[in-house]
Chains A and B, each alone.
Chain A
């Protein structure tokens, strides 16, 4: 579970429904410096798919595979 690199920022989206997890994630990534690592914690089932797919479609890369943690997912994305 431990990362090679600690996340620089964490976006805690637990409780938020779609489309806000995607909007917030893309917004946070846009505001960060290139190379910084964002940790996203989300529990909206719709976001398990649209957050990683849209992060990739918007040109960001993943530091590691998404982690399923009970009823939530953790994403590690480079800005």
Chain B
């Protein structure tokens, strides 16, 4: 028992296992509700709620109609996905006694977080989905816009990684001579009790939703909780998937995400055929590419995407407060720019909803998706090898110079 508690709570889980479970759960969630695991749509609605709170008349804004801005965040299943994720992550952070207020030493990070958060929020909503609805849960829906989004995110991340490497951006670390003392550890451990209490209350709430017949809210709250637990325990970071490949030749997150998507795609195509469901398709247009590039750049600038930001904030990483605020500001600004600044006419209007299931049938769609993911996997390994190959050559040259 003790070792089991230690493995589940003291150590982080293998990202491959976590993304495999996340892939299975998102296919299941789609089968049960006909909606997908997504977060930024709700961020836009939160922005709309805030505007209304400040007396802004948003009744004519097309974008809010499109994302079905109705009720409050507490009466929307998508809202409970978001709050469930926050709470699930928080519960795991507390149970593992790892909450700590973490303030960045480099003050420039707050500005980077806010600006990056705004760009990422704007880009995600322009493309109609972040790393979830236009990526991890978009590919398994066979919506072609997610294919464009993946390429575009890769491009944006590449430039983001270049920026991150610049001295004025990354700042100087505090390297000191000699050994330094670590922080003193508090003897009294109270976090797990707080976490346990929150968990019990939350399970009570989920039970209440189901008992009062609010099935969709209950499912949203329950799956949100599960996704929150998973991303925190697996330290799932979509930002790092591309970025770390470019920065330090690290590939584990990219590979785990690709495998998770492959499994989820196979399950989703089965769910769609068996239950005769309609897949969720978004417009593929120039906006998808532009949005994806902005999203890729923004998440690297902010050090976290809309999903990674959630559990980091719950860990007490204060940097992610401005990132969260930025995400909502960016998403809300896009909702304004959509019809008021002509974004729709210029970037979106010419596009079309393309779903691979309609264009090439279920067998073709799953085959094409698996080939595309296989290609992505091969490219990932190629980049990793290329990085380490270059490093060896560099080291060799240095030894010769000496």
**Chain A residues close to B by CB (< 8 Å):** 3, 6-20, 22-24, 26-28, 39, 41, 43-46, 48-50, 53-54, 57-59, 67, 69-72, 74
Contact = CB atoms under 8 A, between A and B. Distances in A.
A23 B170 contact: yes
B240 A69 contact: no
Given A57-B249, A74-B182, 19 more contacts: A11-B173, A11-B175, A12-B105, A15-B105, A17-B319, A22-B244, A22-B248, A23-B248, A39-B180, A41-B180, A44-B102, A44-B317, A45-B315, A46-B240, A48-B12, A57-B248, A58-B391, A69-B182, A71-B183
- What secondary structure prevails in chain A residues at the interface with B? mixed
B173 A70 contact: no
A6 B179 contact: yes
Interface centre among B12, B173, B247 (most CB of A within 10 A): B173
A41 B176 CA distance: 12
B68 interface: no
Nearest to A13: B173
A59 B394 CA distance: 13
B98 interface: yes
Contacts of A45: 12, 98, 235, 315
B67 interface: no
Contact of B12 (A12, A49, A71, A72): A49
A12 B312 contact: no
B185 A10 contact: no
B173 A50 contact: no
Interface string B173-195: 11111111011011000000000
B178 A10 contact: yes
Interface residues of B, number: 46
B102 A19 contact: no
B13 to A, nearest CB: 11
A23 B104 contact: no
B287 interface: no
B164 A41 contact: no
Interface centre among A43, A67, A71 (most CB of B within 10 A): A71
A69 B173 contact: no
B255 interface: no
A79 to B, nearest CB: 12
B248 A24 contact: no
B103 interface: yes
B237 A10 contact: no
Contacts of A50: 240, 244, 250
Interface in B65-118: 97-100, 102-106, 109
A36 B102 CA distance: 29
B106 A16 contact: yes
Given A43-B100, A70-B185, A23 B303 contact: no
12 contacts: A6-B178, A10-B176, A17-B319, A19-B240, A20-B173, A23-B165, A44-B317, A46-B240, A49-B12, A50-B250, A54-B248, A57-B249
Contacts of B235: 45-46, 49
A58 B395 CA distance: 10
A57 B250 contact: yes
Contacts of B170: 20, 23-24
A49 to B, nearest CB: 7
Contacts of A67: 182
B349 interface: no
B388 interface: yes
B304 A17 contact: yes
Nearest to B10: A68
Given A23-B164, A23-B247, A28-B175, A17 B104 contact: yes
Interface centre among B12, B164, B317 (most CB of A within 10 A): B317
Interface string B311-349: 010010101100000000000000000000000000000
What 3 pairs between A and B have smallest CB-CB spacing? A70-B185, A24-B173, A71-B100
Nearest to B391: A58
A50 B182 CA distance: 20
Interface centre among A7, A10, A17, A26 (most CB of B within 10 A): A17
Contacts of A49: 12, 235
Nearest to B104: A15
A9 B255 CA distance: 35
B243 interface: yes
Nearest to A59: B395
Contacts of A58: 248, 391
